[in-house]
Chains A and B, each alone.
Chain A
Amino acid sequence: MTTMQTAAPVRPVRRSRRLTRGQAVGWTFSLLLIAVLVYPVGTMVWRALAPQGTLDLEGVAGTFTGYGLWNATLNTVLVAVPAALIATLIGATFAWLNERTDAAFGPLGRLLPILSMLFPTFALAFGWLVVGDRTSGFLLGVLRLIVSPFGIEVAALPIGIASFAGLIFLYSITLAPFVYVQCQAAFRQLDPSLEEMSRIAGRGRLSTFFTVSLPSIRPAVTMSLFVTLLLGVGMYSIPAVIGTPGRITVLSVYIANLINGQYPPLIQEATVIGLCLMILILAVWLMLRASLNQGRYASVGGRGIRPNRIAMGRWRGVLRAAMWLYIVFAVLLPLVGLVVVSFEKYWTPDLVQGGFSWENLLAFTKVRGGGIALIGNTLWISVVSATVIVIVAGLVAIGSTGRSPRLYAVVASVATKVPFAIPTIVIAVGVLATFGFPPFNLSGTYWILLIAYFFSIPIASIAAEAAARQVGPELVEAARVSGASPLRSILRVNLPLMLSGLAGAWVITFAHVMGDLNMIPILSSATNRVAGTALIDILGGGGSIIAAAQISLIIGLVTLAVVVVVTAIAQPRFTGRGRRSRDAAAS
């Protein structure tokens, strides 16, 4: 009934109007996007659900009786939900401190909170295992150094990183940067007058933060919470390296075990679980979208005001110390662990008698294909992938948000969310089957990796939508009233004002592709090797884990350098291009 009522007014419009050029371009773009994103995944999902050509309901039902599935689901909820909440609180608070208060770090210091996002999660997980293992971690070694002069022997730490608390802690500090990037971009774009009025009206700093600042950037906070939940559910390296020793199996590890722990691999079961997750995720996203469409939050207005930073008084030092403490735990400790291991002959908590060696210092150069060359390949692929993804996600976000979202853009927006929960191996096999052989014949080329990485679009798409929502409609409308074409409005108004948010999406996507280990096993071969290929070789028993740690460290440093440049380019709207775009709209 509802559908008919909704559909009825559309029909005469279709009959009476031909497609405009813009609509034709929009639909072509959307259909192409659907073809690229949905076809490879769709065929693989269908093949998994109907291995003999007809739907195998018995097999599908059997998925839900799998050993440990519900335990893994419960563990996922117990870890991912609190971690997402903690990460959102940390990320949003740090963004506010850095953008709105005098506790802010300097321009480069603002990047510090995202450091942990720049290193492959495998490196952080292994780094933390090296540091925080109950029986062999460096923290135990340090404790022994301290207490042994008093004749006290310590066999193990009371709690290690391989525990529920350790997992939530690691998830939280790893996810917080994703919130920080989005909220920082939103704060940068936001007119600070509301916060200033709140302060003038006598509200305290904390009260202003919770009742004015956070609600003002509701799209960014909500979508960040959503993204961290998604990432938490999908995270693999940390629960595999840390959760398994703690006997905590989460869904991502469960799915990986269905594929790698059985022969032949249980692709059907893995796909069914992924499909259920995808449906759940799409449902939550649609609800959030509806809520944000009706909601009240601040957006970029027609006036540009440089914010007055809130003075934090005596709390300034404490808050800065808290941010430093976060950086120490999120990045420095695990990285120091990896560096120390690089100088040891082999990992040992006995820092004095373990013996230091220069032997392993250049281990990364000895991997197949040369570590430097492989990292170079990873770098350009990541730059191209992130750029293409963010352009597409940005255009889709502009079209699918605002007062009159275009149907083709909304359809495209849904398509960009499809790949999220599908197991990566299913996507990789789908991409190989679709593009690897004639007529495309891209197997063994870098093109096929670029296509596969395009499936990293869901997070960028969500981030771009948050950025698009933060741009108020009046500037775009002003541009259109002034006679600007839709394309000109997008190029001169939307995109420049979304630049900070899109830069955040770019950084997230870039870091994700730089650290990817999931697409590699199926799609990378001897002719299209990247840094992840070397890591997979090593994790498969083909080399020194020290080399893996070093490659991870270098990937992190390269990612950091690129992010510094991108952040410098993506100026906030108060200066440079942002101001010009506002002026363009106003004129």
Chain B
Amino acid sequence: MIAGLALAIAGCSSQPDAPAPSEPSSADGAWDAELIEQAKQEGAFVIYGNAAAEQGEGLTEQFKRDLGLEGIQVEYNRFTSAELLQRFQTEAASGHILADFILNAYPSQFTAPENADYFKTLTPELLPELETYQDIAPENVTETGIRYSVTPFAVQYNTDLLQGDDVPTKWEDFTDPKFKGQIILNDPRTNPAYNVELHYIAEELGDDWLRAIGDLDYQLTASGVTGIQQLAAGGAMVMFPTPNQAQTLPEGAPVGFIVPEGVTFVAESWFGLTEDAAHPAVAQLYANWLLSKQSREFACAQKQWNMSMNVDGIPGAEECPVRTEFQSITDTEEVAKVASYQQHIWDLLKLQ
């Protein structure tokens, strides 16, 4: 039954911009009818994810349309990575994990020895699409978690204040004196991703880059959501490090997004299926759908989601920006390593 779930990669016609169902297809002809029937009987699906609610729910809505599962009640619960870990650990300690499907930034959520037992082993039998994915991007697959997408953390800029050649293209450009007082820095103490980005840039350009930024009388923001408003209001020329937040502003707001040449950090999205899920059939179908071409085409067409598959040549991801010089963190040891540098970074930036 599960083996019959394989999905077609080729010949799928999708309508990326319209929320219409994509053609259901599989290498063997169609989605597994028995599994779909089981999913309908389960009737619900619980996701814990760190992606913005708009994005998380956008994907599940399209999944329901594509597989004819409109009757399923999806609970997408959005957390920050830290909150998600707390919630998960509390549930795990109580022996009652309520989520069927978990989407988080760090693979250790799924692969850490103390957590591994809580997740299903991912095999082509469970997820037929995995075989194709594994062939093209083996580094994206572990025993219990799959790297689904990446989100570059780069630079947002005010398009009224910076135009044409004035728009920086390299990280070195931001040390220009014209940026004095014109940079909004996302406070690196509020999100580990910001630290990692600054760490990687400093590794490439040296401490002097951080020191120069620290001398530029930058503005700090604790929240990218209010920071982007300040940027649109003309409070500064640029804001970094940040994912593209243009979707939080109305159309026409003078805000653009650039990924400078050289190193750029990406936040990852990994997913796993919980072992004792209350709705295993829906979770299995959703995981397969996420790996399918039709899902990727849909996700990549949603430009405002700022997603990238980070895998060259994966079917359906042609519209997603793929860059080879992205750097990401793949386990908590690396996070800890960067954390050990963070005070040095903060000192150079004169955060106190």
Complex alpha-carbon distance, A429 and B94, angstroms: 12
Query: Among the listed stretches A102-110, A164-172, A215-223, A240-248, which one makes contact with chain B, having 4 or more residues with CB under 8 Å of it?
Result: A240-248
Are B225 and A526 neighbours in the complex by a CB distance under 8 Å? no
Query: Among the listed stretches A2-10, A81-89, A275-283, A538-546, which one makes contact with chain B, having 4 or more residues with CB under 8 Å of it?
Result: A538-546
Query: Among the listed stretches B10-18, B127-135, B136-144, B244-252, which one makes contact with chain A, having 4 or more residues with CB under 8 Å of it?
Result: B244-252
Interface status of A308 (Cβ within 8 A of chain B) = no
Which residues of chain B are near A526, meaning CB under 8 Å? Answer: 46, 74-77
Are A544 and B250 neighbours in the complex by a CB distance under 8 Å? yes
Give the Cβ gap from A72 to chain B, nearest Cβ, in Å: 9
- The verdict on A241 contacting B223 (CB below 8 Å), with A133-B230, A360-B250 known, is yes
Query: Chain B 55-93 against A: per-residue CB contact (8 Å), 1 yes, 0 no?
Result: 101000000000000000011111111110111001101
Interface status of A315 (Cβ within 8 A of chain B) = no
Interface status of A129 (Cβ within 8 A of chain B) = yes
Are B250 and A244 neighbours in the complex by a CB distance under 8 Å? no
Are A349 and B80 neighbours in the complex by a CB distance under 8 Å? no
Interface status of B224 (Cβ within 8 A of chain A) = yes
Are A348 and B232 neighbours in the complex by a CB distance under 8 Å? yes
Interface size, A (range): 35 or more
Interface status of B41 (Cβ within 8 A of chain A) = no
Q: Can you sample 25 A-B contacts with CB below 8 Å?
A: A67-B342, A67-B346, A68-B346, A68-B351, A136-B234, A245-B220, A257-B187, A260-B190, A261-B190, A263-B106, A264-B82, A264-B85, A265-B82, A267-B86, A346-B249, A347-B230, A348-B234, A349-B233, A350-B234, A368-B53, A437-B96, A443-B98, A526-B76, A537-B52, A540-B80
Residue of A nearest to B222 (CB): A244
Are B248 and A543 neighbours in the complex by a CB distance under 8 Å? yes
Give the Cβ gap from A251 to chain B, nearest Cβ, in Å: 13
Residue among A259, A345, A347, A359 with the most chain B CB within 10 A?
A347
- Given contacts A262-B192, A536-B78, A544-B249, could you give 18 more A-B pairs where the C-beta distance is less than 8 Å? A71-B352, A130-B229, A133-B233, A135-B219, A241-B226, A245-B219, A261-B191, A368-B53, A432-B90, A433-B94, A444-B98, A526-B74, A526-B76, A540-B80, A541-B224, A542-B54, A544-B250, A546-B250
Are A543 and B53 neighbours in the complex by a CB distance under 8 Å? yes
Interface status of B124 (Cβ within 8 A of chain A) = no
Query: Chain B 204-226 against A: per-residue CB contact (8 Å), 1 yes, 0 no?
Result: 00000000000000011111111
- The verdict on A425 contacting B53 (CB below 8 Å), with A247-B220, A247-B351, A261-B190 known, is no
Which residues of chain B are near A263, meaning CB under 8 Å? Answer: 81-82, 85, 105-106, 192, 332, 335
Instruction: Name the contact of B222 in the complex, choosing from A135, A253, A543, A546 (C-beta under 8 A).
Output: A253
Interface status of A207 (Cβ within 8 A of chain B) = no
Complex alpha-carbon distance, A444 and B342, angstroms: 37
Q: What 7 pairs between A and B have smallest CB-CB spacing?
A: A526-B75, A136-B235, A542-B52, A136-B233, A244-B222, A542-B53, A265-B82
Residue of A nearest to B232 (CB): A346
Interface residues of B in 334-352 (CB under 8 A from A): 335, 339, 342-343, 346, 351-352
Are A240 and B235 neighbours in the complex by a CB distance under 8 Å? no
Complex alpha-carbon distance, A167 and B189, angstroms: 20
Give the Cβ gap from A465 to chain B, nearest Cβ, in Å: 33
Complex alpha-carbon distance, A376 and B75, angstroms: 20
Interface status of B102 (Cβ within 8 A of chain A) = no
Complex alpha-carbon distance, A244 and B226, angstroms: 11
Are B78 and A545 neighbours in the complex by a CB distance under 8 Å? no
Interface status of A438 (Cβ within 8 A of chain B) = yes
Interface status of B236 (Cβ within 8 A of chain A) = yes
Interface residues of A in 115-149 (CB under 8 A from B): 126, 129-130, 133, 135-136
Which residues of chain B are near A256, meaning CB under 8 Å? Answer: 190
Interface status of B113 (Cβ within 8 A of chain A) = no
Give chain B's interface residues, CB within 8 Å of chain A. Answer: 46, 52-55, 57, 74-83, 85-87, 90-91, 93-96, 98, 105-106, 181, 187-192, 219-226, 229-230, 232-236, 243, 245, 247-250, 252-254, 332, 335, 339, 342-343, 346, 351-352
Complex alpha-carbon distance, A349 and B160, angstroms: 14
Give the Cβ gap from B39 to chain A, nearest Cβ, in Å: 18
Instruction: Name the contact of A240 in the complex, choosing from B53, B74, B222, B243 (C-beta under 8 A).
Output: B222
Interface status of A521 (Cβ within 8 A of chain B) = yes
Are B53 and A265 neighbours in the complex by a CB distance under 8 Å? no
Which residues of chain B are near A360, meaning CB under 8 Å? Answer: 250
Are A257 and B190 neighbours in the complex by a CB distance under 8 Å? yes
Instruction: Name the contact of A126 in the complex, choosing from B190, B226, B249 (C-beta under 8 A).
Output: B226
Complex alpha-carbon distance, A346 and B342, angstroms: 34
Interface status of A16 (Cβ within 8 A of chain B) = no
Are B248 and A544 neighbours in the complex by a CB distance under 8 Å? yes
Instruction: Name the contact of B253 in the complex, choosing from A257, A345, A429 (C-beta under 8 A).
Output: A345
Complex alpha-carbon distance, A267 and B352, angstroms: 23
Give chain A's interface residues, CB within 8 Å of chain B. Answer: 67-68, 71, 126, 129-130, 133, 135-136, 240-241, 244-245, 247, 249, 253, 256-257, 259-265, 267, 345-350, 357, 359-360, 368, 425, 429, 432-433, 436-438, 443-444, 521-522, 525-527, 536-546
Complex alpha-carbon distance, A342 and B46, angstroms: 34
- The verdict on A244 contacting B78 (CB below 8 Å), with A345-B250, A360-B250 known, is no
Which residues of chain A are near B79, meaning CB under 8 Å? Answer: 521-522
Residue of A nearest to B335 (CB): A263
Are A129 and B226 neighbours in the complex by a CB distance under 8 Å? yes
Complex alpha-carbon distance, A387 and B244, angstroms: 44
Complex alpha-carbon distance, A256 and B78, angstroms: 18
Complex alpha-carbon distance, A262 and B83, angstroms: 11
Give the Cβ gap from B103 to chain A, nearest Cβ, in Å: 13
- The verdict on A525 contacting B57 (CB below 8 Å), with A261-B190, A437-B94 known, is no
Residue of B nearest to A534 (CB): B53
Are A245 and B234 neighbours in the complex by a CB distance under 8 Å? no
Which residues of chain B are near A260, meaning CB under 8 Å? Answer: 80, 82-83, 190-191
Complex alpha-carbon distance, A349 and B229, angstroms: 11
Which residues of chain A are near B247, meaning CB under 8 Å? Answer: 541
Give the Cβ gap from A532 to chain B, nearest Cβ, in Å: 13
- The verdict on A348 contacting B94 (CB below 8 Å), with A240-B222, A261-B189, A265-B86 known, is no
Which residues of chain B are near A136, meaning CB under 8 Å? Answer: 230, 233-235
- The verdict on A543 contacting B54 (CB below 8 Å), with A136-B234, A347-B232, A526-B77 known, is yes
Give the Cβ gap from A188 to chain B, nearest Cβ, in Å: 40
Which residues of chain B are near A537, meaning CB under 8 Å? Answer: 52-54, 78
Are A538 and B90 neighbours in the complex by a CB distance under 8 Å? no
Instruction: Name the contact of A349 in the complex, choosing from B82, B95, B234, B250 (C-beta under 8 A).
Output: B234
Give the Cβ gap from A484 to chain B, nearest Cβ, in Å: 48
Which residues of chain B are near A133, meaning CB under 8 Å? Answer: 230, 233, 235
Are B82 and A244 neighbours in the complex by a CB distance under 8 Å? no
Residue of B nearest to A243 (CB): B222
Residue of B nearest to A350 (CB): B234
Are B78 and A348 neighbours in the complex by a CB distance under 8 Å? no
Give the Cβ gap from A101 to chain B, nearest Cβ, in Å: 41
Give the Cβ gap from B120 to chain A, nearest Cβ, in Å: 21
Which residues of chain B are near A68, meaning CB under 8 Å? Answer: 189, 346, 351-352
Complex alpha-carbon distance, A544 and B222, angstroms: 17
Residue of A nearest to B85 (CB): A264
Which residues of chain A are near B190, meaning CB under 8 Å? Answer: 244, 256-257, 260-261
Which residues of chain A are near B351, meaning CB under 8 Å? Answer: 68, 247
